Each structure stands twice: as C-alpha cells, then as structure tokens.
Amino acid sequence: MAQRRKKKLGNLQAIIGSIPMISVAVGVYVICIIYSITLSFTSSRLFPKFNFVGLKQYERLWGSPRWQISVENIWLFGFLLIAFTLIVGYLLAVFMDQRIKQEGLFRTIFLYPFAMSLVVTGLVWQWVLDPNLGVQSAMANWGFEWFKFAPLVNPETAIYGVIIAGVWQGTGVTMAILLAGIRGIDEDIWKASKVDGIPAWRTYFSIVLPMMKGAVATAFVLQCVSVVRVYDLIVAITNGGPGIATQMPAVFVIEHISIRQNAGVGMAAATLMLLPIIILLGGRGIIQWRAAKIEKEYEKKMLQASAEVS
C-alpha cells in the first residue's frame, strides 16, 4: 500500500517535472500549428483577425510571382543540395575509409564549415563569388581571362551560387554520418566479398551502401529539414536577390509577417511549408511499419520452419 502510494507520488512529481515538456509539445507543436493554419484562412494583416475569407489567401499566394519563384527555387535547391551532399559525402566517406593516415586532419577540414553559422557561410561566399574582386578577378589576374564565374549577380544563375555555399556547409556532416555507417558494417562482409573476388568499389556501392540504409536515411532527413528551413543563408548571401531570383518559402513567410504585414498570406505559405515535412514523416512511418510487418512475417516463417525441422 505504502509502496504504491509512493509510486503515485513519484508519478505526480514526474508530471510536475514534465510540465515544460508537456506545455511545449502541446502549446507549440499543436496549438501554434493549428493557430497558424487557421489564420491562413483569414484576412489578417499585421495582427491576427478572425474574419474568414476561405481559400482567398492561397489563391493570392499562388498568384504571386514571388511565391512561384520561391517554390521553384526550393525544389531546385533541395534536389541539387541533397544530391550533391549525399553523392560527394559518400565518395568522401569511401575515400576516407582507405586507411588514410591523416584522417583526423581531413575530417576536421571537411566538417569545420558545419560549425559556422549559415550567416557566416553566406557572407563568405558572397565575397568569394564577388564579380569584381572575387574568384573571377583573381583568376583574371593570374592570366585566366576566360574564367568567368560570378553566379550571384545574374538572376538566372544566382540560385546555383547559393547551392555551392549550401553544399560547402553541409557535405562534411553527411560525410561524417555516412562514414560512421560504413564503419558500422560487419567486417565479415568485407572478408566474404574479398573471397568472392568482388572489387572494392563494387563492394562499396552494391553491398555496403544498401546495408547502411539507416545512415543514408539519417543524412537524407537531416538535409531535407535544413532545406525546408533555409533562411539565414539566403538573407546573408543574396537577401533574395537579384530582384526576387533567390527567394525561398522561409524568407517569404518572415517577410510577410514582418515588413509586408500580411500575416494571412504568410500563414498560407507556412501551412504549405508544413506539407512536405508531413509527407516525409508519413512516408517514413509507412516504410517503418511495413518493415516491421515483413520482419514479423519472416520471424513467423522461421519459427514454423524450425518447428517443422524438429
């Protein structure tokens, strides 16, 4: 009796201790999200107003070239950034796995950009890619006059300049995660593939890579989240320009709830930003659920088989 009451008392303490967690989980990740979605159906300006206008804000949103370009940009940025960080990250991880003596040094070099803020990243690359005094002029001064590389000042190519900066910042992390994945593969796999005479590069791509799905998924999700959130980098490197060439949804939302004082449209955009994340999480959930189901069936079969044998 006393024991049980004490346990209950402890639980009460646990609930008291968890008040911050509960209030953040419910307050921020349920109420705030619902609030934002609700406001996207209203004509709120700087302050929230609850006069509903249906889907008008969404119509206005898709009618605005600023938003259209933002959406185009985020797909292009996301696709290229994720592809580059994963491919280059994996190549680097494979090469780092070749018993490199200076592994620590290389790791430090590849990973340090991740320690720097995206604002710093943006400002540095803005300077490196400066059309008058950046790489282009340095190369011209060295006699490579034909070398033209100043993507940020041209609306057509500005987004690629942003992608270079993003790849520079994010590849090291991907490399670190994937390298950990490679190192986690059983040594026996390597012995077996050696016995079978499979060349090392094929082992890396056809055997090791499929075996480290977890590490790849982790790196992929990490990059996806950083793509959807990209804000600081854009503000620092181009501030959305030239013109509106490098606008992104995250910048669009912040501009609309602050200087443009159009929270309704901003919240409509924010609601749409939530969609890919929900699809991503939902997809992962389904894959995990199916994997668990397959595993269960497999176990069942094995049990049956072993029962038959005995």
Partner 1 sequence: MSEEKPESSGNEPRGPKPRKISPARIGVYAFLIISAIFFTLPLWVMLMTSLKTMPEIRMGYLFNWPQEISFDAWVKAWDTACTGRDCNGLKPGFWNSVKITVPSTILSIVIAAINGYALSFWRFKGSNFFFGLLLFGAFVPYQVVIYPLIIAFREIGIFATLPGIIILHSIFGMPILTLLFRNFFGSLPMDLFKAARIDGAGFWQIFFWIMLPMSVPISIVAVILQVTGIWNDFLFGSVFAGRANMPMTVQLNNIVTTTTGIREYNVNMAATILSAAVPLVVYFVSGKWFVRGIAAGAVKG
Tell me whether residue 76 or residue 91 sits nearer to partner 1 (CB atom).
91
When the beta carbons of 151 and 172 are compared against partner 1, the nearer one is 172
- Given the complex with partner 1, which of 200 and 207 has the nearer CB atom? 200
CB contact at 8 A, 77 and 93:
no
Minimum CB distance to partner 1, residue 54 (Å): 20
Closer to partner 1 by CB, 181 or 209: give it: 181
Beta-carbon count within 10 A of 308 CB: 7
Please count the helices (runs of H) and the strands (runs of E) in the chain.
16, 0
In whole angstroms, how close is the CB of 263 to partner 1 at the nearest point?
Answer: 6
8 or 300: whose CB is closer to partner 1? 8
Smallest gap from Cβ 301 to partner 1, in A, equals 29
Asked if 77 and 165 count as a contact pair (C-beta separation under 8 A), the reply is: no
Shortest distance in whole angstroms from residue 25 CB to partner 1: 4
Rounded to whole angstroms, how far apart are CA atoms 61 and 67?
A: 6
For the chain, the 3-state helix, strand and coil shares in percent, each to the nearest 5, are 75, 0, 25
Smallest gap from Cβ 173 to partner 1, in A, equals 6
Shorter beta-carbon distance to partner 1: residue 199 or 210? 199
Q: How far apart are the C-alpha atoms of 122 and 238, rounded to whole Å?
A: 8
Buried b (16+ CB within 10 A) or exposed e, 249-287: bbbbbbbbbeeeebbbbbbbbbbbbeebeeeeeeeeeee
Provide, rounded to whole angstroms, the least separation between the CB of residue 217 and partner 1: 7
Per the DSSP assignment, residues forming a β-bridge with 52 are 42
